[in-house]
A and B are shown apart, each in its own frame.
Chain A
Amino acid sequence: MTRFPIIPSLEGDVHVILVGNPNVGKSALFGALTGRYVEISNFPGTTVELSTGHTDGMPLVDTPGIQSLHARSDDERVTRDILLERGGSLVLQVADARNLRRSLLLTMQLAELDRPLLLDVNMVDEARERGIQVDVVHLEQLLGAQVVPTVAVTGEGIETLRSRFQTARPVRHRVRYDAAIEEAVARLAPLLEGRDGDERAIALMILAGDAELAARCGGAHRAEIEALVARTAERYPRPLHFVLTGQRLRAVDELVAAVVRHPETRQAHAGETLGRLALHPVWGVAVLIAVLALFYLFVGRLGAGVCVNWMEKVFFGRGVNPLATWLAGFIPVPLVRDLLVGEYGLITMALTYGIAIVLPIVLTFFIAFGLLEDSGYLPRLAVMMDRPFKALGLNGKAVLPMVLGLGCDTMATMTTRILETRKDRLMVTLLLALGVPCSAQLGVIMGMTAYLPPAAIVVWGAVVTGVMFAVGWAASRVIPGERSDFILELPPIRRPQLVNIVIKTVARLEWYLKEVLPLFALGTLLLFVLDRTGALHLLERWAAPLVEGGLGLPRATTASFIVGFLRRDYGAAGLFALARAGALSVPQVLVSLVVITLFVPCVANVLVIAREHGTKVAFWVVGFVFPFAFAVGVLLHFGLLVFGVHF
């Protein structure tokens, strides 16, 4: 028998292995079954923590939540190894009654192990509240294994579950794959050494690309196994694990159609149609363009136009700034007075930029973004993004951190941990730093497009996405890595609720102002010190060949680029103020907007890169991104000149 790593606290026979997708209530069930005593230990060679305990005198282990047995992450590898190592154990799978499709996909893989399996359909109370009905008796008949409905948090059904431990049996219902897969499995299984009854499951895992298992179980036949997998893969246009998942999903959909009843409503029907349209290769693009156009009208025209105009000219121009200047007149120290209401004053610059310019823009942007989130369009946008990324050969899994970057780049940089190889993580970190603005920054950048005609906005969009794709393409050529698919559960299209949008927007605004105003103040203080010491004038002179000669921008934009190093949106706000004052022509707005969009998002992002990948990589990323942003700006400036582009 091929041995796998053993958890020290689980020496001896393990009788119950708790398995399930993330967030199905596994931990609650573990608590309900074991009581309070829990032992936590790391799986050998990993940082994955396992909880172990006893139920009715039997050892029980809670494995990490997984989507499948195709081991791509440490969590999946650990769960796979425990299942393969503990051949005589009972598999207790926890399923989510609200989303049985996802859970049954895992059931189909667990069934292939040919172990006694007990299916716990958990959270039936929440499913009932949503009008979802699961016919447990029929599911039991179809699977040929025992199924128990529970509500783990209240203890409902737990005693019934315990009473079934001794009578659990393997799942009878198995996925029948197409002829080529079945033939490959039939040839692979006899080549596996030292296995006892789970050859079919292991053969399928190896076909799905589990090279580690091929090495462990292949023994003297390893080369033969690899050749067989390669020959099978050649018969399909898509990766084998994708083919296997597709065939399993078809089997699962038949089961779900037979045992799950969803409430039928007219709104749900319309939502399904909209959802399909948003994912359509042609109509999906049309929907995306329509969404962007509405965004532009709402954020660019209303937020950055009408609202900023009123805030800057009326509220600050006639109210706050004259009042602050009058009050500052009582301050006897000129330096302190200038620090508050001077050219680089905390009130006249930091507060005016933060409240008069940025606030109306992010307010309208957060409303629009909240509508996108609550409507269920955001995950569909992620799926749409997956296609062009994959066409470039980029790892499909890399799309998720890129989408998460729209929330917060700093946190998205941390989620690059889900990527398998260090090279993948570095590549996505670089792309995040280069061209994915967080929602607030995107709002300010979009607000700046209010000063551009539609043709110039198209050029800006084309340059930024072109740069992203070029860097992504170049990186994917240099860094081959393993291609994996982007798996995201698509929630239904919903009608957003006004109260939720209002509360969400207010909470976001509060968070944003708390985070940016101190940084805006810090940036202004930096400019004030540079100005007072004469360093700003020197910097502007030194930067003149680049800013004036290379980018074709006025010298005054240097200050915006300096604060842009702290936060991309502060730099954008400075450029926005210059554009409003008429100091920038349309080509100059375009060039400056491209440069600031490609800046590193914020200081926090650099700190996280240093923490996740080391100081050297952080320096490398910063050292690449800033010169690259300026280089693209210079190329664009001269490109516009050479081709005589006028907007």
Chain B
Amino acid sequence: MLCPLCGCEFDETDHSCLSECPMAAIQGCNLICCPNCGYQMVDESKSGAAKLLRRLLHPPGDPGKKEPTP
């Protein structure tokens, strides 16, 4: 994943903000924090709608399945 603020590339699986935010304790939160600058983004891998859309836009066998980095 590429941080839109500082350009740092990181693995989103290791940088969930989940444990930090009180909202997460109440109802769950899909934000991830950039390990370099702290900018918050939505973790697309945890969004069912985004996964479905990605499958529709890049069906299996499509060489463009790998999400292009911005």
Contacts and interface: CB of A to CB of B under 8 A. Distances in A.
Interface residues of A, number: 47
A563 B50 CA distance: 30
Nearest to B24: A604
A510 B68 contact: no
A153 to B, nearest CB: 11
A411 B33 contact: yes
A23 B8 contact: yes
Interface in A525-541: none
Contact of B57 (A499, A509, A608): A499
Nearest to B70: A374
A503 B20 contact: no
Contact of A400 (B17, B38, B50): B38
B29 to A, nearest CB: 7
A21 B52 CA distance: 37
Given A373-B4, A499-B57, A503-B54, A611 B22 contact: yes
A268 to B, nearest CB: 14
Nearest to B54: A503
Given A374-B4, A411-B40, A509 B22 contact: no
A511 interface: yes
Nearest to A381: B5
Contacts of B40: 404, 407-408, 411-412
B17 A510 contact: no
Interface residues of B, number: 39
A492 B69 CA distance: 13
Contacts of A136: none
A254 interface: no
Interface string B7-32: 11110000001001111000111110
A646 interface: no
A489 interface: yes
A494 B38 contact: no
A608 B47 CA distance: 25
Contacts of A518: 27
Interface of A: 22-23, 126, 373-374, 376, 378-379, 382, 400-401, 403-404, 407-408, 410-412, 414-415, 418, 488-492, 494, 496-497, 499-500, 502-504, 506-511, 514-515, 518, 604, 607-608, 611
Contacts of B49: 506-507, 509-510
B22 A23 contact: no
15 contacts: A22-B36, A374-B70, A379-B7, A407-B40, A408-B31, A411-B31, A411-B38, A414-B21, A500-B68, A510-B30, A511-B42, A515-B23, A518-B27, A608-B21, A608-B22
A379 B4 CA distance: 8
Nearest to A501: B70
Contacts of A497: 68, 70
Contacts of A515: 23, 27, 29
Nearest to A405: B40
A429 B31 CA distance: 20
Given A379-B6, A507-B49, A23 B35 contact: yes
B35 to A, nearest CB: 6
Nearest to B23: A604
A497 B58 CA distance: 14
Contacts of A379: 5-7
Contacts of B42: 504, 507-508, 510-511
5 pairs of A and B residues whose beta carbons are closest in the complex: A491-B7, A373-B4, A507-B47, A407-B40, A507-B50
Which of A378, A411, A607 counts the most chain B CB atoms within 10 A?
A411
Contacts of B35: 22-23
B68 A502 contact: no
A514 B67 CA distance: 25
Contact of B10 (A23, A494, A500, A604): A23
B23 A511 contact: no
A400 to B, nearest CB: 7
B5 to A, nearest CB: 5
B50 A503 contact: yes
B53 A506 contact: yes
Contact of A488 (B6, B22, B33): B6
A140 B57 CA distance: 47
A411 B4 contact: no
Contacts of B8: 22-23, 489
Contacts of B47: 506-507, 510-511
Contacts of B22: 410, 604, 607-608, 611
B48 interface: yes
Nearest to B29: A515
B54 to A, nearest CB: 6
